[in-house]
Amino acid sequence: MKVLYALESIRTPWLDTVMAAITHLGEETVFMVAALFVFWCVSKRHGYYLLAVGFAGTVLNQFLKLLFRIPRPWVLDSDFTIVESARAQATGYSFPSGHSQNAIGTFGGIARFTRRKWVRAAAIVVAVLVPLSRMYLGVHTPLDVGVAAVIAVALVFALYPLMERSDSRHGVMGAVLAVMLALAAGYLLFVSLYPFPADVDAANLASGVENAWKLLGATVGMLVGWWLDVRFIHFDTRAVWYVQLIKLVGGLALLLGIRAALKAPLAAGPGAGAGGAGGRRSRRRGALRCDGAVRRGGVAHGVRAAVPCAGKAGVLSITGRLCGAY
């Protein structure tokens, strides 16, 4: 906590605003836009590379969050304060830092493959500043950021040589995607079957179930898209600037459209009562039943209660966000 207290001592309103802006560069939306821009407009191979680093990293990140369940810094030390504007987005467990891992994986990956020195320099600066911003804002400890950095850097360097061979050897890309699919499926089984203790936070567990479905759906979509392109489409990333702009804007619009179209029919299935006042009452009653079941039955029975109750209200509304979600 010494590092966090040192950063707390230099806070100013101006620096709070700057760091809050920088930290947004570690969000999932930035990762998706960057990866898809590279995929559609620069290099399919490097686009797949960024997506592989991001998806594999997120599986590991979410697994560690639920496995260790380490609270946020201000919970660990009640005397420590955070920048209040960052509190709303600082949900879930603290270890390891998702924003830091996203930023280092995305911008570190760009720095790894780009040949333009200014792009590499800018990417490295962002990859360093985002983790610093997480500590400055008080939402992560150096341990959270450090472990996230190790995971991201390991993936950036481990996957790069594999993806460089994927153009000439389709089996390499297929194997990477198969491993990613296995990781996503394994994480889904983990959040569904692991005997979490009775005091596990229900909201965090529900978020874990949500992310498991998102990752599984995104990986399946990536695998299907790769197969279709290899067999039938063979699209070319090279084009004049206005065609590149059309590809990027049109592609993102298509993803958002599919996401919106799937939301209503999937939300109409079991667990559709998750929205609105009735849904809130249902979740509240469900949470009480889960809590009671955990107290009565201990860990073994608590898992059977906690996982369905955490997931029932959310899983099907979650699956509506599989397409284009990360």
pLDDT tens-digit map of 239-255: 888 888 998 888 888 88
Q: What value, to the nearest 5°, has the Cα angle with vertex 73 and ends 71 and 78?
A: 100
Question: For the residues 140-163, what does the mean pLDDT come to?
Answer: 96
Please state the separation of Cα 322 from the chain's center in Å.
12
**Above pLDDT 70, what percent of the chain?**
79
Among 31, 25, 67, which Cα is nearest to 52's?
A: 31
Q: Where are the domains of the chain?
A: 2-239
- Phi/psi of residue 87, nearest 5 degrees: -65, -40
Query: How many Å apart are CA 215 and CA 234, to the nearest integer?
Result: 25
Query: Which residues fall within 8 angstroms of residue 129, CB to CB, at 6 or more apart?
Result: 22, 25
Question: Active-site residue numbers?
Answer: 99, 140
Write out pLDDT tens, residues 84-132.
999 988 888 999 999 999 999 999 999 999 999 999 999 999 999 999 9
Q: Which residues contact 134 (CB under 8 A, 6 or more apart)?
A: 23, 26, 97, 99, 100, 140, 144, 145
Instruction: Output the CA torsion sign for 303, 304, 305, 308.
Output: positive
Residue 208's pLDDT is what? 86
Spacing of C-alpha 89 from chain mean position: 13
* pLDDT(304) > 50: no
Q: Over the stretch 28-68, which tens digit does the pLDDT of each residue have?
A: 889 999 999 999 999 999 999 999 999 999 999 999 999 99
| pLDDT higher than 60, residue 216 | yes
